[in-house]
Amino acid sequence: MKMSAHAGLKILKSLHSPKRIQDFLEKIPANFEKKGETCRSPVGVLRHREAHCLEGAILAAACLKLCGHRPLILDLAAHKRDLDHVVAPFKINNHWGAISKSNHAVLRYREPIYKNIRELVISYFHEYFLDNGRKTLRSYSNPVDLSRFDKKGWMTAEKDVWYIERYLRKIPHQPILTKTMIKNLRRADPVEILAGKLTQWK
């Protein structure tokens, strides 16, 4: 039976804290897009029972909105040889944390202990590398409040919400490193690379 938008929103509203939202995301299988690229709405994710990082961040933002937080997402942009990552930042007691849907062991939830967005972003830097150990995180967007898309019905849309993905790609990003910093980066060592290959969903 197809899940209704009302039923989907009821599930999302029951996840009334960042910790509970993260726990819920951990139980949703990874979306490997075997049938083509997707950018599903939160209700779409619930119907298909799978999500990649952007879909997970959008779902988390919807939950945050329903429990009184701003529905924010944040793009972590990598070198062109690697993939970007998207998280849902939130603020508690004037400190930032993030909800994150990732199949890898390290690019996940961040406790709300960071003073600003840059600190939060930097917490993902050292574990963000390719199989050869090259560290690839390069820039980040300012948090995007998805309320700007309320008129499009982003939380319950039947069709994929590609307009969110396009908006994330076109907005300015802040650089993390200078050219000198990039030149002097040390590659992750074999133990770090091995740990980075630990995944949840096959």
- CATH number for the domain harbouring residue 63: 3.10.620
In a domain, 149, yes or no: yes
Residue 160 has pLDDT above 80, yes or no: yes
- Domain holding 111, by residue range, is 5-196
pTM summary value: 0.96
In a domain, 202, yes or no: no
In a domain, 159, yes or no: yes
In a domain, 184, yes or no: yes
The per-residue pLDDT for range 117-151, each reduced to its tens digit, is 999 999 999 999 999 999 999 999 999 999 999 99
CA angle, corner 8, sides to 199 and 23, nearest 5?
35
In a domain, 66, yes or no: yes
User: Picking from 13-17, 27-31, 61-65, 116-120, which range would have the lowest pLDDT averaged per residue?
Assistant: 13-17
Residue 1 has pLDDT above 70, yes or no: no
Q: Is residue 120 within 8 Å of 102, Cβ to Cβ?
A: no
Counting DSSP H helices and E strands in the chain, the numbers are 8, 7
* Percent of the chain residues topping a pLDDT of 90: 94
| Backbone dihedral angles phi then psi of residue 200, each to the nearest 5 degrees | -90, -45
In a domain, 95, yes or no: yes
Q: How many domains does the chain have?
A: 1
Strands 85-92 and 110-114, bridge-based pairing: unpaired
Residue 3 has pLDDT above 80, yes or no: no
| Backbone dihedral angles phi then psi of residue 147, each to the nearest 5 degrees | -60, -20
Q: Is residue 64 within 8 Å of 157, Cβ to Cβ?
A: no
Task: Tell me the CA distances in angstroms from 164 to 62, 75, 101, 160, 200, one per residue in order.
Answer: 13, 11, 17, 9, 26
CA angle, corner 23, sides to 20 and 26, nearest 5?
150
In a domain, 171, yes or no: yes
CA angle, corner 151, sides to 149 and 153, nearest 5?
75
Residues in the chain: 202
Provide the sign of the torsion angle of the four alpha carbons 26, 29, 32, 38, taken in this order: negative
In a domain, 57, yes or no: yes
The amino acid that residue 163 corresponds to is Y
